[in-house]
Structure 1
Amino acid sequence: MALEKQLKWEGKASAELKVTRTCHGVEGTPGVAGCVWFYAGFKTPVDPKSDQNQDQEKANRTKQKLLSIDPAEMTYSYSIIDGNVGFNSYLSTVQMVPKDAECTIVWKYEVEPVEG
C-alpha cells in the first residue's frame, strides 16, 4: 500500500480595527521610559445635566507617560499625567500573554477619579 502525500495546512487570522485617534510624541525618545505622548480622538457624551446641547460630544484627550517597558516579559506601564477624562491619578500595565498559537492582552489599572 503506497503512502499518500499529506497536504499542508495553512491558515491566517486578522482583525480590523477602526482607528479614530490622534497620537503623537510630546517629549523624550519613543519607546524609552520617561517619554510622553498625546492621545485624542474617541468621544464621550457631554454632561447631560448641563444646559448645553445634550447631543454634543467632546473628544477625550490625555498625555501619557511611559513608566517602564520590558520586552522580555512583554509588558509596559504608563500613567496619565494630564487630560480631560476625569482622573486624579491613573496607572496602567499592559501585558501580552502568549499561549500556544494565541495571545491574550492583559490590561490592569489603578484609578482615582475626580469628585463629581
Structure 2
Amino acid sequence: MAEETQPRWEGKAIAELKGPTPEQVWPFLADFCNLHKLLPTIDTCDRVEGVQGQPGLVRYCASTASGDDSDPSKIKWANERLLMMDSSEKCFSYEVLDNNVGFKSYVATVRVMPVNGGDGKMGGCMIEWSFVSDPIEGWEHQDLISYIDFCLQSMAKKIESAIQESSG
C-alpha cells in the first residue's frame, strides 16, 4: 500500500522599505543570530553551534507567547540551521530542525533586492521571504503565509526605524 503524500506548502511574503538601500538593510538580516532584535515575537535567539555567517550555523529561537517563561510548556522553540549565506546577492537560506511548533520540513530563503522607483532612480528595497514546507498539523496553508507576512512586515518596520535613527 503506497504511503499518501501530502502536497508541499509554498509561499512568499514581500516587504517594501521606502528609503533604505539593500546595502543598509542587509547587515540586519546577515546576522543570523540577531532575530530576537528584529522580531517582537522572539524572546531568545542564540548560536548553538557553528560560525556566524557560515553554512552549518545553528541557532536556537524561543518565544513565550504569554511572557511567562516559568512554565516550560508555554515556550515555543526551534533550532534552525543556516544552509547558505550569499552577501553579494544579499540572501540566505535556512531550515527548521527540531522544534515544538509542528514543523516537519521547512526551508526558507530571505533576500534583499533593490526597487526601481520608476524614473530610473532607486526607490528603496524589498525583502522577500519564500518558503517550502510540509503541512503543519493544526495549521492551514494560509495561516503559515499570514504568519510569515506578519513576521516580515514587523522586521521591515524595525529595520527601517533603526536605519532612520542611525542616520539622524
TM-score bracket, shorter-length normalisation:
0.5 to 0.7
Q: What per-residue deviation string (whole Å, max 9, x for no partner) do you get for residues 46-92 of structure 1?
A: xxxxxxxxxxx823210000000111111000000111111110000
SS in 1 for 2:56: coil
Give the C-alpha shift of residue 43 in structure 1.
Answer: 2.4
Residues 40, 88 of structure 1: alpha-carbon distance in 2 compared, 3 angstrom cutoff: same
Q: What per-residue deviation string (whole Å, max 9, x for no partner) do you get for residues 88-112 of structure 1?
A: 1000000011221411110000111
| 1:86 corresponds to 2:108 | no
State the AA in 1 paired with 2:88. A
TM-score by length of 2: 0.48
Q: What per-residue deviation string (whole Å, max 9, x for no partner) do you get for residues 18-70 of structure 1?
A: 645201000011111111010011528xxxxxxxxxxxx82321000000011
Which residue is equivalent to 2:165? none
Distance in 2 (CA, whole Å) between partners of 1:112 and 1:82 is 14
Whichever structure has more helix as a proportion of its residues is 2
One of 87, 107, 111 as aligned partner of 2:129: 107
Runs of 4+ in 1 over 6 A off after TM superposition: none
Greater relative contact order (Cα < 8 A, sep 6+): 2
Distance in 1 (CA, whole Å) between partners of 2:128 and 2:136 is 25
- 5+ residue gaps, structure 1: 1-11, 45-56
Give the C-alpha shift of residue 114 in structure 1.
Answer: 4.5
